[in-house]
Structure 1
């Protein structure tokens, strides 16, 4: 049977998703027959034959520096583990920087000290060097390091790491090795660790393949939506309209009666900031909505989950952004940069978002039309932010002020917005279903892993019946586009890089 925690989550997903990742061997899982009190209140009961040991008895920290500035620069990513940094970003450190980097070998465990509270651990399969701000550990005993990577990402351990992290503000806390080492964990025998990893590799592979396929579907739906919107905001709805050169390369010919405007000529443009997390007076008891860059992934922003105080508004020079503005994400390594959303409430924003507020009373553009146009302009905004192949990777408020948009008369803007909404409704609904499936499957995977590595489910018999997974099969998955993609964005609220080297 599946665990009580995981079963309801997966049942929420459509049955096609359920069948894809819930093979028969998952139905046979049962709890361990005999459990014992771990002696640690937050650990609770564990299988009788498991040991409870402190992490410092399992791993020791290494601090070997490269010195000569040579070696493959590695990054710790949230979804792909340890990979060459050239695969994660086009911003590479200099040889002088690398001389201070730590040596990382296959089998080492790497911890991002600033993100341990969010489960940033990975077992390395590469030889290279990694950020000096990371901690590198080697196993003391004969343990399966991949098992501990899974274990250290579970909510129960992450909570302990968060409690032991030190610093100013939650976004800048570090977990230091002595504090990390004092955490007690339940440890199965080495052979059972290997069986657990084998089982989870199989389950994870099925889930990743299904998520990868769904992500390909989402990409196709987004491409279809993009084409519909681009046509509507560059040619209008009348197929017989007379055209003229726009003077903007990516727009081409446009309706003769439409005008090309720079955004700054009809809208106010600016961005915000992140009040210090270490100053409780900026956050505690706050009532004014504050948004980070992930909020633009919603097409319309109607609610928030973070609030700042009036003191923060005054002292941190936060803008009061009016409802009816358009927000644009201006930084980020994922797909978020260049994404726009309509703000339906008054709020303030962080430094990774820009607001575009059409001016009154002589309104030239409606916010709904402007946001629709920016959806069509997403590829051009990305191109601008990449700065023709450099490492810029960001938009500026000045870029947006000078960005040129097409403006039909206001009544025609409204007709285009309504038409686009109707024309993309079916595809948008399908996209939302696919995204919901992915979210549920990711949550199911996290809960399944947590149940297995903390001794809630016995997978020894199931693992013994599974075939080996070879590297060639995994490579085939990736080559076929069925491997799960990287997360959408990689910046935390405070703007620090969360999945790449600092």
Structure 2
């Protein structure tokens, strides 16, 4: 596969194309978490880390550095400084090593990975890549076609055929490639023998998430250990009759939900607290005092009572995980179904089961409605759904084990979030000083005349934004009409989550009038900011447009600032508006009760300290250079949080379906579960609640 004439052309609609790990076939990627591999007793989190470590058989310390990373992208980046010291025959052996790495991924994760491979059917498998047309294929013709050697995709197709022809034998006796010096930590890599039971591939007798032999700190800070090792107990398996979990332990049953739960429909309890759902942490008491969007419960008499331990689920959102046990007696929206568990059902166990990806797909099959993403799962359908039924003591043990692991993972996420906060504060402090004082520590200063701005360099101006930029507010929404022209919309979320708006972003498609297109199409140097939000702290968040974006229009909830480039660079204006001092002024100026907004007058009359254009360029270059290490550290930390979440999802799925046996687990001294600390499992940016989903009463 090393020839130069092996490019292939693939049609996107006829192929299985994967790019991101959170896509339906993202598990095919070497960057996908949740597919750990054991080599010579060492636990390696991803096939990417394994592949990169194989570059350096003569450098065991570099191998440990790579394997010790939680994030596969970080593992890859850690290898880059040492690439010049790769094994001398690397270009000749890398395909063989990749083939072996994929077989190891299959052998260690047979159930999940073989099922994913077979789900691709007979279609070509293609890794989409923006840069690499050796392992993947690049997009051409507006995204409809991909061209490249696609070596990774072809190896996956090869492996798929082995699974089809050989079945489980495809994962037995995985011999290392026949190449010299194939070593891990100085030891020859041994033949991997496929493990006889599904759970054996997912856990090991000793070790942690990082492996007993590779417990390497990711950064300088000390991380809490995310998981506790499991002692496994041999158990037999039997066919379940369910496509989403083909084999379950002997002694487990499959029953319909109507055998496990009764329907509770009770109204008229106005004094009970209101409950809401979190997609990640289940049902919780709504904090009515600190809602982003204040609500008046005008029809509380229609709300349903959920007794402590009942399971409540959102009929329209259970397929996303909007389900959980009630922590106290409380009230839920009329859009919810409340079910009371019978004695043989631990509602916490079923809350974990119901939020697994496999079960949520079953929910979709049983839901009914006109529009797919608003389908409803009524009680009559829910009670017909089959569920797994371990013996009640085993359900209780599974819940205790998973809560202990959740506590470890929550503490890990909390530490990472605190690190991101510190890095962000450090970055903002650098930017704030640069855009208000410049780069010369000895520069002569003068009073700015603006109290919050303080002193500025004597040769700088203090300028109103209206004198250096044209301020335009957008009213373009996502709705399209026949008389309008198709466009791509730069939305609130695009700005809020990104410093730059570029053409390769996944932007919403909508339509706009000719006048809107003429006034709001994004041009190089434009700065966009959020002009309204549910909280004043989210007001005035800016993003910068580095190049013309024909066909991309600024959308509703945003303001567009078009700078006079002979006076102010778009990038400098972006940095100045994003500085802590300017941001604080926008927060103060924002007005509203249930939603906060900046008026155009507020933006036009905001002031910034303005150096000469050449000095603006120097400041922007300095900020980029100084912030890059901080941005890289933030990105690595966010990747680590994402990976631990993927690990958690996979662990829960394996444990609640019996693929990992936790009957022999006993809690240790560190297995302390704090319900308040478990809140860290949620995510402010992604965690939908009932209030945000519109089920509450305004």
Q: TM-score under structure 2 normalisation?
A: 0.60
CA gap 1:42/1:131 in 2 versus in 1, 3 angstroms: same
Say how many residue pairs are matched.
479
Tell me, yes or no, if structure 1 residue 453 matches structure 2 residue 510.
no
- Aligned CA-pair RMSD: 4.0
Tell me, yes or no, if structure 1 residue 444 matches structure 2 residue 640.
no
Alignment of 1:38-187 (within 5 A): 38-66=240-268, 69-81=270-282, 82-86=284-288, 89=291, 91-94=293-296, 96-167=298-369, 169=371, 172-187=374-389
User: Which residue of the partner structure matches residue 5 of structure 1?
Assistant: 35
User: Which residue of the partner structure matches residue 149 of structure 2?
Assistant: none
**Secondary structure in 2 aligned to 1:213?**
helix
CA gap 1:111/1:305 in 2 versus in 1, 3 angstroms: same
**What is the CA deviation profile of residues 76-133 of structure 1, one whole-angstrom value per residue up to 9, with x for unaligned ones?**
2334431332365154433544333222332121212332221111212123323332
Q: Is the 2:527–2:570 Cα contact (8 Å) retained in structure 1?
A: yes
Q: Is the 1:100–1:132 Cα contact (8 Å) retained in structure 2?
A: yes
Tell me, yes or no, if structure 1 residue 299 matches structure 2 residue 329.
no
**Secondary structure in 2 aligned to 1:460?**
coil
Tell me, yes or no, if structure 1 residue 16 matches structure 2 residue 197.
no
**What is the CA deviation profile of residues 191-247 of structure 1, one whole-angstrom value per residue up to 9, with x for unaligned ones?**
111111111111111111111111111111111111111111122223344444445
**What is the CA deviation profile of residues 407-463 of structure 1, one whole-angstrom value per residue up to 9, with x for unaligned ones?**
33322221211111222233222222222211111111111111111222111112x
Q: Is the 2:536–2:587 Cα contact (8 Å) retained in structure 1?
A: no
Post-superposition offset of 1:24: 5.6
CA gap 1:178/1:322 in 2 versus in 1, 3 angstroms: farther
- CA separation in 2, counterparts of 1:97 and 1:408? 57
Moved more, 12-21 or 294-303: 12-21
Alignment of 1:344-359 (within 5 A): 344=546, 346=549, 347-348=552-553, 351-352=556-557, 354-359=558-563
Q: TM-score under structure 1 normalisation?
A: 0.80
Moved more, 203-212 or 93-102: 93-102
CA gap 1:22/1:392 in 2 versus in 1, 3 angstroms: closer
Structure 2 unmatched ranges of 5 or more:
1-32, 38-44, 50-66, 72-215
| Structure 1 counterpart of 2:435, from 218, 225, 233 | 233
User: Which residue of the partner structure matches residue 632 of structure 2?
Assistant: 429
Post-superposition offset of 1:168: 5.8
- CA separation in 1, counterparts of 2:272 and 2:402? 32
CA gap 1:152/1:474 in 2 versus in 1, 3 angstroms: closer
**Secondary structure in 2 aligned to 1:424?**
helix
- CA separation in 1, counterparts of 2:515 and 2:254? 47
Structure 1 unmatched ranges of 5 or more:
none
Alignment of 1:365-404 (within 5 A): 365-376=568-579, 377-385=582-590, 390-393=593-596, 395=598, 399-404=602-607
User: Which residue of the partner structure matches residue 497 of structure 1?
Assistant: 692
- CA separation in 2, counterparts of 1:407 and 1:116? 52
CA gap 1:456/1:334 in 2 versus in 1, 3 angstroms: farther
**Secondary structure in 1 aligned to 2:229?**
helix
